[in-house]
Structure 1
Amino acid sequence: MRRSIARALIRPLALAATMTAIPLMGAAPVAADSVVVGGFPIEISQAPWTVALSSRDRFGGTRAGQFCGGVAVSRTTVLTAAHCVAEEVLGAPANQMRDLKVIAGRTDLLSGEGEEIALKDARVNPHYDAVTNSGDFAVLTLAAPLPQSAVVAMAPAGDPAYTAGTQAMVSGWGDTTGGGTYAHRLHAARVRVLADDLCARAYPGGLDGVYRADSMLCAGEVAGGPDACQGDSGGPLVASGRLIGLVSWGSGCGRPGSPGVYTRVSDVLRTLKPAAAGPQRPHKGS
């Protein structure tokens, strides 16, 4: 899976899903909105917190209007990438999109499984920097509640799930090959949390973007391999049963030396008011 726009282009992965509707702009940090590259199909019951963002008016009905991913962190709160709900992607402010919905409880986008829920509100992190992708998250408030079983806890700062080497899973409906092969069934990939110094060396600045450990984390394999891709932006990176990242950006999909970059959830928690973050599950050592 990968960010909305081709990770190879170094731009938010959420834009990749919009390629048929919006001309791509010049190279910029790419965000993941694609299916997991090098991944495998799963059932929604294996990652019930994974949701799809949909607008058939904007993106057509071929894939139920899916253009980004998201993750349920409370019964009425979904997190996604800020770049997913940018006006340049949606063509209008998110709160003015009548058919902008969250699809929950659905493995196959073309099935009638699960439910499609309208939004009451969409709030972009006021500190989001579209140039650096720092603070790349938005908070969506649902018009109807999800079951508690669809909610995943957010890992706070200091949680061992952030430790380098930890196994994690990313899930979404994005590009599965890095070449524009979008899946309509949910996919996942197993990746490892990577050390901040390795990520900083991979993205020191310039055209490939700059890694900021305070608001980002990266995951994958140094030699390349399983990764998020276009269309996966905003989707969940979960380790030890807790949410640690949101698919954000990267350079290409699954490339050696170019791991996927995720919004660090501990930074989301720091930024959000307690009421917006939803209930938290204590972790070992807390």
Structure 2
Amino acid sequence: MRAFVRAALGALALVLAVPVTVARADESVVGGRPVKVSDHPWMVAISSRSRFGTDRSGQYCGGVLVGRATVVTAAHCLSRAVLGVEWQQVRDLRIIVGREDMRGRGGQELVPRRVWVNPTYDSYSNAGDIAVLTLGTQQPKGRALPMAKAGDAAYRAGTRANVYGWGDTTGSGTYAATLRSAQVQVYSNAACSRAYPGNADGKYLADSMLCAGTPQGGRDACQGDSGGPLVARGRLIGLVSWGTGCGKAAKPGVYTRISAMMKHVTAHGAG
């Protein structure tokens, strides 16, 4: 497991997966601003109180509703390295929909009816970092976020995008209670490859990944945002996957490229 890589969720407490109480904050996503879940109804939280404590409803990853009963998140969010046990042993795994404040009880806490974790996910390269969760009840029409297909202009370098989450605001374990979003821009494959050429930091694989950030740094996803969406032109283009640090100028966040994973969502989702 590589240090300072978000695929590990960054904190030893999360890797050991013992119940913890995380610090409260009214911020989320490094360099972010507050947004309402009601304005982004496709944004969901993945939680387990038994593994991550009761504070903030046990939220530890993000996810996104892409169909009336289909949620996508990162495969590593359901890994033994993060949970401390196999995901099947986590009896209180929940998908939280429509909750404005993770310290409250609004919205719904739903039990996934079916869970599919990409069996080809590589925890070293972080390739194929996606899981599909099927809800037992369909959500109202219009709540799902459309996925951007291959060739969509939303993937073009320089496109403005937004990342969403309840994660660490500083990179030092200060987690959020309410949803925030940060604006970043999609980088070219060449720039992403220069940032992650294949060393201890990780290797960028253009066919299954994309990266996004800002030239000066300061805006990024961080620990606890894993599995959450990167949205451009009103469409889902990526899932928070990994990266070195949070908000570093030369180290943009790396995301699972949705266009490369749509076949899995179609095959294992419920619509």
Please report the TM-score for the alignment, with normalisation by the length of structure 1: 0.86
In structure 2, which of residues 190, 206, 229 is the aligned counterpart of residue 213 of structure 1? Answer: 206
In structure 1, which of residues 54, 62, 70 is the aligned counterpart of residue 55 of structure 2? Answer: 62
Task: Note the C-alpha offset of 1:67.
Answer: 0.7
Distance, in Å, in 2 between the alignment partners of 1:165 and 1:66 is 32
C-alpha deviations, 1:132-162, integer Å up to 9, x for none? 0011011111122222232101111011100
> What SS does the aligned partner of 1:9 have?
coil
In structure 2, which of residues 262, 266, 269 is the aligned counterpart of residue 274 of structure 1? Answer: 266
> What SS does the aligned partner of 1:95 have?
helix
1:102 corresponding residue in structure 2: 95
Output the amino acid matched with 2:13.
T
TM-align CA RMSD: 2.0
Alignment of 1:1-286 (within 5 A): 9-12=4-7, 15-16=9-10, 19-23=12-16, 35-270=28-263, 272=264, 274-276=266-268
Distance, in Å, in 2 between the alignment partners of 1:119 and 1:70 is 13
Output the amino acid matched with 1:200.
S
Distance, in Å, in 1 between the alignment partners of 2:185 and 2:150 is 18
List, as ranges, runs of 4+ consecutive aligned residues in structure 1 with deviation greater than 6 Å.
none
CA contact (8 A) 1:165 1:194 kept: yes
Task: Note the C-alpha offset of 1:212.
Answer: 0.5
Distance, in Å, in 2 between the alignment partners of 1:79 and 1:21 is 21
Task: Note the C-alpha offset of 1:20.
Answer: 3.0
CA contact (8 A) 2:47 2:59 kept: yes
Structure 1, unaligned runs of 5 or more: 25-33, 280-286
Output the amino acid matched with 1:184.
A
Please report the TM-score for the alignment, with normalisation by the length of structure 2: 0.91
Distance, in Å, in 2 between the alignment partners of 1:236 and 1:108 is 18
C-alpha deviations, 1:136-192, integer Å up to 9, x for none? 011111122222232101111011100111111110100112221101111110111
> What SS does the aligned partner of 2:92 have?
coil
Task: Note the C-alpha offset of 1:23.
Answer: 4.1
CA contact (8 A) 1:170 1:237 kept: yes
Shifted more, 234-243 versus 39-48: the winner is: 39-48
Output the amino acid matched with 2:202.
G
Distance, in Å, in 2 between the alignment partners of 1:170 and 1:11 is 14
Count of equivalent residues = 262
Larger RCO (alpha carbons 8 Å, 6+ apart): 1
> What SS does the aligned partner of 1:37 have?
coil
Output the amino acid matched with 2:4.
L
Distance, in Å, in 2 between the alignment partners of 1:66 and 1:52 is 6
Distance, in Å, in 2 between the alignment partners of 1:263 and 1:211 is 11
CA contact (8 A) 1:95 1:121 kept: no
CA contact (8 A) 1:36 1:171 kept: yes
